[in-house]
Structure 1
Amino acid sequence: MIKKLLTFCYWCGKRAQCNTRYADGKIVREGAQIMLGSNESYVALCRKHYKEGKL
């Protein structure tokens, strides 16, 4: 059986669609796709806030 875990946007509380990595207060859009062992460097965002780059 597969269970779907829901995550919510850090800003608005809508369903999050992006697990976003950030560094120095900005979204990281280039470079390595995965950074192992750095759970504190990720935040869940909805599509709107991901596109806006809002952290």
Structure 2
Amino acid sequence: MQYPQRSSMGFSATTLAGQGLLATVLTALSTGLPVDIGGVAVCDVYSDTESLGWVSINK
């Protein structure tokens, strides 16, 4: 059995890329589907939080 890893990542919803990430996250949340996420190894949105690079919805 796999257990989800808890993590914090940040992104800005004021950019087109961030709006796409937000739409994907909200879709996953509203459908109850799990997601995989990946960071970009920099903290450019919040100085102490890795920036979110991609979100993938799992079916």
TM-score by length of 2: 0.22
Q: Which has the higher helix share?
A: 2
> Higher RCO, 1 or 2 (CA under 8 Å, sep at least 6)?
1
TM-score by length of 1: 0.23
